[in-house]
Structure 1
Amino acid sequence: MQISHKERGQKDAKAKPLIGLLLFLISIVLLVVTGPIGFLFGLFQQLFLRGLTGLGAYFLELAISVDQLGNVLMQHLFNWLWITKQGYAFGNRDETISSALGKNKQLGTLTPMGKAIDHLLDIIDPNHSLNSIDYYVQPDS
């Protein structure tokens, strides 16, 4: 499923609700049916061609993709719990949760719960959200 450059920046594109639902269901079925095969193939390919370094790179790519999905999936909850009304919104499909969290940390728009999440991440990886900021991702209009 390819998205045009024109659609990429439009968060609330004029999609028909049933088409969106149908495409979502098809993507879930494809993920469930073909995902395990693709994962195992990628795992063995990276292991045999590039060793542990290849596995690490593969897992990092997967982690970023899952994180971007989480940013879209959890956007409404995160926007409600973690940032003030003036904050940088979560939900951009090209951005990780940590990047949006870091932008809000810079803006000073984290709520107490958002600050607690950021602090927890800092314990695991110092300055995680600030180091994760993707400056090439622009806010959705």
Structure 2
Amino acid sequence: MIVKEKKRIRPLIGVLLFIISIVLFITTCPIGLLYGLFHTAIRNSLRGIGEYALKMAISIDQLGNVVMQHILNLLIIKKGGYKFGNRDETISSAIGKNIQLGTLSGFGRLIDKILDFIDPDHSLNSIDYHIEPGEKAYKQ
């Protein structure tokens, strides 16, 4: 049996790459957003802008799932619930998986009800079944 060793992460490299990514995001996103909006409007009209905006919203949601994973795990799920924090998954998808498991806290159920008011069955419809679970996704 071959055991694959985990790649060792150097903390300073992670912090440096994080800082570089923030600087690049702040300096280049406004230009990319304006160009993307004009390009999409010319090529695909208003419908294209809606799809473009949805793609950005999903990406921001995935970022939020990583950034806020610890507080979401504390406030939204019960012990043994499906963990937040997978970089490829939205917050709504993780909430939907916890609905199926019956592991949402009272606050988590409130958040789900708010999402349902805006978009009925939003969390359940947002479940991404093709997400590879992270190593810690099922651990406590």
The reply to whether TM is greater than 0.5 is: yes
Match of 2:123 in 1: 129
Determine the C-alpha separation between the residues in 1 that align with 2:8 and 2:121: 38
Distance in 1 (CA, whole Å) between partners of 2:66 and 2:120 is 25
Task: Output aligned runs, 1:12-91, within 5 Å.
Answer: 14-91=8-85
Amino acid at match of 1:26: I
Q: Which of 128, 137, 140 is residue 134 of structure 2 equivalent to?
A: 140
Give the counterpart letter for 1:16 in structure 2: R
Q: CA RMSD in A?
A: 1.3
Structure 1 residues not aligned, in runs of 5+:
1-5
Contact 1:89 1:139 in 2 (8 A): no
Letter in 1 for 2:12: L
Q: Secondary structure at the match of 1:140?
A: coil
Aligned-residue offset at 1:138: 2.5
Question: Which residue identity does 2:131 align to in structure 1?
Answer: V
Distance in 2 (CA, whole Å) between partners of 1:48 and 1:123 is 33
Amino acid at match of 1:95: E
Question: What is the percent sequence identity of the aligned residues?
Answer: 61
TM-score (norm 2): 0.90
Query: In the comparison of the two structures, how many residue pairs are matched?
Result: 131
Report if aligned partners of 1:82, 1:111 keep a CA contact under 8 Å in 2.
Answer: yes
